Structure 1
Amino acid sequence: MLLYTAMPLELVLDGIDRKYNFKEIDVDGIKLIIEPIDINHGKIVRLISTNPQDYLNSELSPGKIIEFKM
């Protein structure tokens, strides 16, 4: 693979060796990929849905912190 960039190599490869701990959860029939923050909270990374209306829901936008309810 070739990558042509004016950015320093350290910036381009920053975090490449980081291990991500993503989980897939189901919220009201909508699949979400989340990154757990602690035992009760997670950050939404990705929304997986075939319904375009789900992407307009601000409560499910990537970067939003959600609380797990048992």
Structure 2
Amino acid sequence: MIVVRLDRVLADRKMALGELAEKVGISNVNLSNLKTGKAKAIRFSTLDAICKALDCQPADILEYEENLD
């Protein structure tokens, strides 16, 4: 399963979710859904904008964990 580590990157950059939402141009609700893992998909353009705003790589935000169920 894919795990979103956006909260960790935001903390490292000392950036609030609202500030990132403004820089990326998406709503706080959509960004919050991504951060909490409730989102089922992300557009590459959104991922690109997030990486640009946070000066990071997609792998800093998204991780794969094997589901052991």
TM-score by length of 2: 0.28
Higher relative CO (Cα under 8 Å, sequence separation at least 6) belongs to 2
| More strand as a share of residues | 1
| More helix as a share of residues | 2
